[in-house]
């Protein structure tokens, strides 16, 4: 099981982000909004390397895309992603979320719009 946490800036863009997120991820992945601007993706039977590649593809897709929000108004978004892996980074969901969350906050401290692993 792989866990990916990401955060976007601005709740009013949640619906736009969610549309692109769902289109970019397999239906076999579990996707959920955790709170506010934080999201979790669980990638069953996915290697740590593949999880990192997927996170980077999603990060780049979001960063490269221009999102229309209103007539004549377009925005750009970025995401910060933290990754954790079972069993390397924890034995419980709580452990995995804490490790991924910590890695995500490390991306924010390092300038955002990045993927980080523990």
∠ CA 30-32-36, nearest 5°, is 160
Q: Where are the beta strands (DSSP E) in 1-118?
A: 2-8, 30-35, 38-42, 67-70, 73-75, 79-85, 115-116
Which residues are catalytically annotated?
37
| Residue listed under structure tokens 């990754």 | 83
Three-state DSSP at 55 gives: helix
């Amino acid at each position: 099981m792989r866990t990916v946490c990401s955060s976007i800036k601005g709740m009013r863009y949640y619906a736009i982000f969610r549309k692109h997120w769902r289109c970019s991820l397999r239906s076999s992945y579990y996707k959920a909004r955790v709170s506010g601007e934080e999201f979790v993706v669980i990638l069953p039977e996915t290697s740590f390397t593949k999880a990192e590649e997927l996170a980077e593809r999603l990060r780049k897709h979001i960063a490269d895309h221009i999102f229309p929000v209103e007539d004549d108004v377009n925005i750009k978004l970025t995401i910060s992603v933290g990754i954790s892996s079972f069993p390397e980074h924890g034995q419980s969901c709580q452990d995995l979320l804490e490790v991924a969350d910590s890695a995500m906050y490390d991306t924010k401290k390092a300038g955002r719009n990045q993927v980080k692993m523990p």
